[in-house]
Amino acid sequence: MRSRTPRPVWPAVLAVVAATTLTATAAAAAPVHPHLAPSSTAVDAPDIPLANVKTHLTQFQSIANTNGGNRAHGRPGYLASVNYLRSQLDAVGYTTTVQSFTYAGATGYNLLAEWPAGDPDAVVLTGAHLDSVTSGPGINDNGSGSAAILEVALAVPRSGFTPDKRLRFAWWGAEELGLRGSRHYVNSLSGAERDRIQQYLNFDMVGSPNAGYFVYDGDDSDGVGAGPGPEGSAEIEQTIQAYYTSIGVTTQGTDFDGRSDYGPFIAVGIPAGGTFTGAEGIKSSAQAALWGGTAGQAFDSCYHRSCDTTANVNDTALDRNTDAIAYTVWELAQTSPPPGDTVWSDTFETATGWVVDPAGTDTATTGAWERGDPATTSSSGTTLQLGTTVSGSFDLVTGAAAGSSAGSHDVDGGVTTIQSPAVSLPSTGALTLSFSWYLAHLSNATSADYLRVRVVGSSTVTALSVTGTASNRAGAWQTTSTDISSLSGQTVHILIDVADASNPSLVEAGVDDVRIAEG
């Protein structure tokens, strides 16, 4: 965390639970949290192993020990830290990018890692600064945040989580010199790229030895300090607080005071939030009563000093914060199903009467739609057909088998169509069609290639129409919903067609979890 003049910590309590006075010994010995009760979203976050996070901290300490005692901007220990993280992420399937910048005559680096699933136009970005100051190894500041978000990132493939939104993780350089890395990243984004980032989560110092439990005050509910974050920041704050409430820990608000890497994001209107366990500020008696620890001492007495080593980390705080990060990422990355009573649905786990080429006019020579257990295909480093479904083992897919190459069973030669069984819609009330989908292709695709979903009765409602472009587009599950109330009282069919309709190109598509809801 970047240096600044010490400030008071706002005492307003934002989430109050049953009061229990913890001694320092009891707080240090607190057990790992129990698994949460099922949330309102489809998949619950895993419990992140503390031992795994501490393994990464040990690695950061070793890197500092062999590189002059620090991991600072422009020093070899920083680049070694980047390379360690990147090797971990590459090994499990992340797409990683190292972005370089120059500050104070030295080259700095940001590391970006993206999980190849979820809507690329709806990004949940989770970040932490990776650099230390020159005076020490920076294990709490900010090896703790860096290690925590790394282990959360690794838990995505390990748990089999399929997010609805795109997950991106970032480790920023030169934060200690004025948020240089995150500022460079935000300034490098186009307007459209900024708009795709729906939330930014920042974790800077999450294992302070005399820990507090602070959550960035997204809605300025404490009424003091820097004011609220951009619209949407309150949702992040409330999500984090929901986790802490579930484990019986009281949190307090901390302001967006420009001290960490959320600064460049909120400056351009991107909602932000995160947690913080305290730096050089002094813990009050009231805070010690809430959280344990020692009143009258700094939250981190080794802040920006050589003693910020692996011995300078509170395991309980680190464990709780890492699980809070996972909970928040999982919650924000999932799209709640549309409200209302289900009129009709299909997850494709059993055959329900979908018909291929219902009008006898299809022209595709391979890759016809089928209900199948899909195999993964890829070409030129781009995943085309997804081997994972949204739920269960089956979906609608354009040729489920992998074959000897990615082009063995993709759509070729024209259009393939599949039609649902007849669905009788109620005559009153609002009606919504929702489903998950993907369209994937390589750069030889054109706008004549497409995926289209329509609901056909006496009239037709187009629920989705996506065309190809001359670029590699990896398969990634996305969700959409459409108002079909204009078809109320009719018997309708859902018609899905996909085309490789111009130059021969690698085109794949999938559809899963189709639902019509009333209300």
Q: What residues are labeled active site? A: 175
Give the whole-angstrom CA distance, residue 421 versus residue 358: 11
Is the link from the previous residue into 142 a cis peptide, with omega within 30 of 0? yes
Name the DSSP class of 53. Answer: H
Q: Are 394 and 354 in contact (CB under 8 A)?
A: no
∠ CA 242-248-253, nearest 5°, is 60
What are the tokens at 219? 């809605």
Nearest to 369 by CA among 391, 390, 345, 348: 348
Q: Are 410 and 444 in contact (CB under 8 A)?
A: no
Query: Strand, helix or coil at 250?
Result: coil
Name the DSSP class of 78. Answer: H
What are the tokens at 108? 């700095």
Q: Is 227 exposed, middle or buried (0-12, 13-18, 19+ CB in 10 A)?
A: exposed
Give the whole-angstrom CA distance, residue 114 versus residue 485: 37
What are the tokens at 320? 């709780």
Q: Are 182 and 264 in contact (CB under 8 A)?
A: yes
Nearest to 444 by CA among 406, 486, 396, 402: 406
